[in-house]
Amino acid sequence: MDARKITDRLSVTGQITAADLPALAAQGYRTIICNRPDGEEPGQPPVAGIEAAARKLGLQFRNLPVIPGLIKDPDARSFGQMVQDLPGPVLAYCRSGARCGALWAMAAAKMTGAN
């Protein structure tokens, strides 16, 4: 797993598994956000299992699935609000991390008043 730091509060990465969570907690992450719909590709771990494992470790978990190329303003607003309000640092994941980065870019643009 290769997390890429976007801000002091947010890093993004590709697909994680429940087995990754103890190491992520040890690295200091306090919230995990999933931006990947279940069943996006064969063999993808179900989000419910990752969420249950995260909560057992005391991590916050949110599921905001978005389809690549179909990110809407409400998705970006919700993502930005989660990153702002939930305990940080936050790790967001999708298939590659790109979708999470796009969500953050849209959210940041909205927060600064850009169209």
Domain span at 28: 4-111
- State how far Cα 44 lies from the chain centre: 16
Residues 74-84 have a mean pLDDT of: 96
* Residue pLDDT, tens place only, 19-73: 999 999 999 999 999 999 999 999 999 999 999 999 999 999 999 999 988 999 9
> Can you give the CATH number for the domain in which 85 is found?
3.90.190.10
- Number of folded domains in the chain? 1
Inter-residue contact 103 to 23 (CB < 8 Å): no
Residue 111, pLDDT > 70, answer: no
